Amino acid sequence: MKIIVNRIIVKATCPYCGCLCDDVEVTLEDGEIYSIKNACPLGRMKINSATSNVRNLKYLIKSGNDKIEVTVDEAVEETANLLLSADKPILYGWSNTSCEAQRLGLKIAKILRGVWDNTTSVCHGTAAIATAESGIPSATLGEVKNRADLIIYWGSNPLEAHPRHFKRYSYYSKGRFVSNNARRKMIVIDVRETSAARLADKFIQVKPNSDYKVISTLHHIIKFGEPPERKAAEVNINDLMEAAKLIKEAKFGVVFFGLGLTMTGYGYCNLDALYSLIRELNRFSKWVTIPMRGHYNVTGANIVASYMTGFPFAVDFSTGKPYYNPGETTIIDLLYHNECDLLMSVAADPLGTLPGEVVSKTIGMKIIAQDPFPTPTTEAADIVLPTLICGVETGGTAYRMDGVPIPLKPILKSRLNLLSDEELLKKILERISWRR
């Protein structure tokens, strides 16, 4: 018979997607996870991954074709060596770790005169560019929960990528002025009929890469009450007329947009157009737009970089001063043009997520990978730095997709004798500062 010595329930902040649900309850039994309440499959998986056997466990340094195990100090020393001898190192990732670690990363990049970029540059970077070009009318998610009577998901499928978004913040949530989904309407705009589209009051199927035209046409219909003279072939006017009617009836509307807008066509033009449309709509009623950020702390990475340097991502310190020019200083641009000679990835997997044409350029580059899990990047790396899982085994601060800061909590004590991202980076920073 098993005797239960110790069973406690801890409140957790889910470190998976931009929803950053903070109502997750984990029951621990003798320090082991017994059950997880309120989490979606993604969050559940992430929290359980702490006990997974597929982890980076050892500090490894490449030697010939093999990797040999070293102590943490040796690994830090070697990391500092590589970083200091690099001509233009790029420090990339940062979206799956705490703001505290991101801050240290920026300091390291500044001392090294390297480049600091986060995963924003390949997901919502275009939204940040559009924000700089024309500004974003936005709000926190609670405003949607309490007020929104029309919700539009554009190029985003929350059921697959942000499973609890509907229930906690939007369509199925219960708020002060809109008590249930019977009073809310939902429009989904996508290139294919997604699972969310099946639940929508109206689904508008658009042709791939035609979003800019669709938004412009919708804008024209809303502004002038009629479709434009010259109709774009890709756009279904009837659909948009119906959507415009719903939009004009709404008291409080929101557009959630995902990679379906940021990654297609000329991403930032899509968003310029969308923001412009939202500004127009504010003449009739209240409208806001919120990006559906992927990683749980990618918003934090933008915020930390913005207040530390003035720029949200792709910050190049190589001349001593921060310089920001997406199209020249993002990881994709730099790797493609062979501008960097060292890639340090922290809590990300550039080799597994960047375009093939860019990944092929990293052959021959020195790579340092800091990650709790094995990835194509750690496989190819010259130095592997294992860490604890931020948000499960260690705490910190993270920002939700709408910019609300929420503390991450260490849910369980790790059985592994490893350091957190923050502690490891602090060691690296100390080593570098001392050597300089």
Partner 1 sequence: MKAILITARSIRQGELIEGLKHLMSTELNFCDLNPEDMLKIDVKNGDKVVLRRDNSEIFLKARCNPTLPLGLVYVIVHPEVNKLIPYNKSLRGMMPGKGLEIEIEKIP
Partner 2 sequence: MDILIENGVFVERIKGRDPIVINAERKVILPGGVDLHSHFAGSKVTLGRLLRPEEHRLRHQFGNSGNHIGTGWATPTPFLCGYLYSKLGYAKIVEPAVPPLKARHTHEEMRGIPYMDKMSLLLLGNSWIIMDLIAQKRLKLLEKYVLWVLWASKTYGIKLVAPGSGEAWAWGKSITHIDDEIPNFSITPKDIIYNLARVNKEIGLKTPVHLHTNNLGSPGNYQTTIDSLKTVENLGLRDGDSPFIIHLVHAQFSSYKGDSWKTFSSGSEEVAAYINSNSHVSFDLGQIIFSNTTTMTADGAWQYNLYRLTGGKWINNDVENETASGIVPYTFKRKNYVNAIQWAVGLELALLVKDPWKLAVTTDHPNGGVFTSYPVIIAWLMNKKFRERTIEKINSKAKHIIILPSIDREYTLFETVIVTRSAPARIMGVKDGATIGIGKEANLAIYDLGDPERDLGENPVKLIKGLSSANYNIKNGLIVMKNGVPVQDFNGVTYYSGGVNESEELTELVDYYFKEYYTVEKENYIVQKGEVMHPVNVLEEVFK
Partner 3 sequence: MRKIILTFKGHGRPVLVYNISPSVFRSKSLDQLKKLEVKSGNKTYQLKDFFIIEEEEPVIEPVETIIIENSTFNLKRIGEKMDTGRIVVNGDAGMHLGAYMKGGEIIVNGSVDDWCGAEMSGGMINILENAGNFLGANYIGSLEGMRGGVIKVEGSTKDFTGMRMAGGAIIVKRNCGSFLGYYMVNGEITVEASSGSETGSRMRGGVINIYGSAEIGVGFKKVGLNYITSEGKKLTLHVFRGDSIESGEGEIRIREVSK
Which of 30, 307, 355, 357 is in the footprint of partner 2 by CB under 8 A? 307
402, amino acid identity: D
Q: Tokens in use for 223?
A: 């502004």
Q: Are 45 and 59 in contact (CB under 8 A)?
A: no
Residues 233-272 as x/- pattern, contact with partner 3 by CB under 8 A:
x--------------------------------x--x--x
Site for partner 3 contains 283 (CB under 8 A): no
Residues 250-279 as x/- pattern, contact with partner 2 by CB under 8 A:
-xx--------------------------x
Q: Tokens in use for 282?
A: 């504010």
Q: Report the partner that residue 122 touches, choosing among partner 3, partner 2, partner 1, none (CB closer than 5 to 8 A by kind).
A: partner 1
User: 192 vs 321, which CB is nearer to partner 1?
Assistant: 192
Q: Are 161 and 294 in contact (CB under 8 A)?
A: yes
Q: Are 124 and 293 in contact (CB under 8 A)?
A: yes
Site for partner 1 contains 356 (CB under 8 A): yes
Integer Cα distance of 77 and 71 in angstroms: 10
How many positions of this chain bind partner 2 (CB under 8 A)? Answer: 64
What residues contact residue 218 under an 8 Å CB cut-off, 6+ apart?
240, 243, 244, 277
305, amino acid identity: A
Distance of alpha carbon 423 from its chain centroid, rounded? 22
User: 231 vs 286, which CB is nearer to partner 3?
Assistant: 231
CB of 89 to partner 3, least distance (A): 8
Site for partner 1 contains 125 (CB under 8 A): yes
CB of 217 to partner 3, least distance (A): 5
User: 102 vs 262, which CB is nearer to partner 1?
Assistant: 262
Q: Tokens in use for 254?
A: 């929101």
Integer Cα distance of 239 and 249 in angstroms: 16
Q: Report the partner that residue 208 touches, choosing among partner 2, partner 1, partner 3, none (CB closer than 5 to 8 A by kind).
A: partner 1
CB of 402 to partner 2, least distance (A): 8
User: 139 vs 197, which CB is nearer to partner 1?
Assistant: 197
Q: Report the partner that residue 312 touches, choosing among partner 1, partner 3, partner 2, none (CB closer than 5 to 8 A by kind).
A: partner 2
Q: Classify each residue of 273-291 as buried b or exposed e, where b means 16 or more C-beta atoms within 10 Å of its C-beta.
A: bbbbbbbebeeeebbbbbb
